[in-house]
Chain A
């Protein structure tokens, strides 16, 4: 089975811009979670989708949004980028959600 695929791998944006990140889960996995990882804050949960429905959302501002398509692929969007949004964004898929997560390689976002 192919693993979790995230694109792009690296992204450089400037403040005020918006960005869209993509995640293709493992075939058959219907749950996709998104995490933000920074050296100081560790892994912070953004949101989780299952069969196109957002089931959980972390404590992030409304600038962070996501969606899931019928083929389980997911996207997350960050609008009006701030310097503090610079981080590694990780997507993880699982069959159930919250159980045995398989992570993609992540998108390293730098906001200048």
Chain B
């Protein structure tokens, strides 16, 4: 069945370092979505990518959708403590009513 692999599971960084998480799908996607979940919180929608090769920026966050629409990445430049949390990618199943979620990448800032 349709699967999405998200890596890494954890990333420890010093404040000010960059962070990247990757998602790879077993199928060509109509879109991919990214969500952030702060510790103790709930997932919050960040962005949806639709077009092949699309690159979108939100301040220090850069989202990319692969040319083949089977992979995506989220890159954070110069991490801050407010970036701490788990970042999930999610892709629609064929029906488009249900999302399949990556396992998430937890961003941890080293003290």
- Is A64 an interface position by the 8 A CB rule? no
- Is A11 an interface position by the 8 A CB rule? no
- B98:A56 contact, CB within 8 angstroms: yes
Contact-residue size bin, chain B (C-beta under 8 Å from the other chain): 20 to 34
- Is B78 an interface position by the 8 A CB rule? no
Total contacting residues, chain A, CB less than 8 A: 23
- B48:A100 contact, CB within 8 angstroms: yes
**Interface of chain A residues 3 through 48 with chain B (CB within 8 A):** 31, 33, 42-43, 45, 48
For residue A31, which residues in chain B have a CB less than 8 angstroms away from its CB? 97
Complex Cα spacing A101 to B34, Å: 10
Number of A-B contacts (CB under 8 A): 62
Complex Cα spacing A99 to B29, Å: 13
Q: A43-B43, A90-B43 are in contact. Are A97 and B97 (CB under 8 A)?
A: yes
Complex Cα spacing A98 to B2, Å: 15
- Is B68 an interface position by the 8 A CB rule? no
- Is A55 an interface position by the 8 A CB rule? yes
Q: A98-B92, A100-B48 are in contact. Are A45 and B42 (CB under 8 A)?
A: no
For residue B42, which residues in chain A have a CB less than 8 angstroms away from its CB? 90, 103-106
Looking at B45, B92, B97, B104, which has the most chain A CB atoms within 10 Å of its CB? B97
| Chain B interface residues (CB < 8 Å from chain A) | 31, 33, 35, 41-45, 48, 88, 90, 92-93, 95-104
Given contacts A97-B98, A98-B97, A98-B99, 7 further A-B contacts (CB under 8 A): A43-B101, A55-B97, A98-B95, A98-B98, A101-B43, A101-B90, A105-B41
